[in-house]
Structure 1
Amino acid sequence: VLGQHPNAVFERQTISGPARAFINGLYNLFAAESGVVGEKHTISEAFGAVRDWWLALPNLARAADIYPADTYPTAHPLVELLTQVETHNPYAFVLGDLQSVYGYDFQGALTDQIQAEILEALKTDKAALEGGPGRVKDGLLTQLMKPFAPEGDLYGHYQAAIEAWYKDLDAGQQDPFAEWHNNQSQAIIQHLKTITNIETTFFERLPAHAGFGLGRVDDWRRDRSTEYARMFKDGLAHIEAYRIQVPAPVWEVRGVGVKKQPTRDGAQI
């Protein structure tokens, strides 16, 4: 305007009661601090609450591939919508795009029932997104712990199994600076020698180590669990391959009628 667009026309749209209830409900669901009961919020405020909540999530929570469409039929398209949230028009996003995610007509009029159903579905999907990284980490940790054969699935069991594995290594295997190391095996020896926190070790320090180069799990922009587990397994196998091989002993016994006979473990007596 201001002389640049003299023919511009402003259209004022009336917001219905159900739409107003949806806007307020959306704000209260996503805002860091819910509004006062009965307080009316604008579309811009509701949009800003959703946008700020989304941008505050860790990268992994915003990765669409951790919400497969067959398991998360609405969370998946919601993530795809939110990925471009900063480019959306607030009005269209709040009173159109969100309706489409939940199977309603983009231009359809909101009713009390529809707005309540969308808010309830959003509440469920919000929880799914907030819990996404934890779900990925749980599955990842299960994969990483398999080689250690822990007695249970508690962190204490994991730590005890790793400590037993490390103590069973020979001195050459425990040396983090030995020439035989590859990138993964060296990182594993360095970080598994002493563990004070399972999550910090396996979700932050180890994957972010140059030997893995994957970065912190929370910072992943896609699920790299399979890749991480494979690299970890290969690193453990490399360490095991350099275990000192001690040949089976051969006992020489002299005497009349003495015969050599192999034992179960291969020794000769």
Structure 2
Amino acid sequence: MAESTRVWFSGALETVAIWWRLERKDGVTLGFTSHDRDLTFEGLVHRTAPGMVPSAIRRTADFEADSAEVAGALSHDSIREEDLAAGRFDGGSIAMGLVDWETFERVTLYAGTIGSVGHEGAGFSAELRSSKDGLARQIVPRTAPTCRAEFCGEGCTLSAAAYSHLAQLAEISSDGGAVRVSGGPASAMLAYGTLRWLDGAEAGLVRRIEAIDSTWLMLDRTTANTIPLGTSVELREGCDHTLETCAQRFGNAINFQGEPFLPGNDLLTRYPAAQQ
């Protein structure tokens, strides 16, 4: 059914509920509604979640980003504290709107992505970023001595598959902030790369490798030290975004997205030197 063009809340009594749809980056899609029973439409069951409340949704006719926020209790099986802490909802897409629970006429009031997610006590709150946030990006990129392109992403042109490797978990540090793996490339090649869990409780989660300490991979987020050894992971090599690495290691200097030889701002503050 196409979205309704009706005028909502035009009568004294309306059979209207709020709906939310969350799509995580790992592909899991969740639907919720403020109604007192589950509602199914567009092939998705929207579970009743009366504890979830949207703040005022502000929509503008100009290019200014729309604003909204959603809050609720950590009482629904689909939204668990450990999933929030693991970042499963970070960067996912969200849509919310109104639905008539009798006719299933509906309208989308807000669509965007999930920004920062926090939890306090038995509740959580999520900052929402509207689709118009993309209009705020800089049209002309700022100059920088390092490459602006994401490794194996747009502008880099290198194949992600060529620099991805399968390995197995060999050890986890006591604080969960570092892991060792068996298989894959040398540890030094993984600095600034990523590790994606393929099995276990954290399957689908991607962690950035912030640094290398001997054979330990230092991750950007802690992981549960109860993950069984031998769990499969996918490793993506990393790049420090310098021209030297791009040219010598990857042979990709022609696609380098930076200006390594452009004089910096300090050129204007230098004192002239007398000729000898």
State TM-score, norm by structure 1: 0.25
Bigger share in strand: 2
Q: TM-score, normalised by structure 2?
A: 0.24
Higher Rg: 1
Task: For CA contacts below 8 A with separation 6 or more, give which structure has more relative contact order.
Answer: 1
Q: Please identify which structure carries the higher helix content.
A: 1
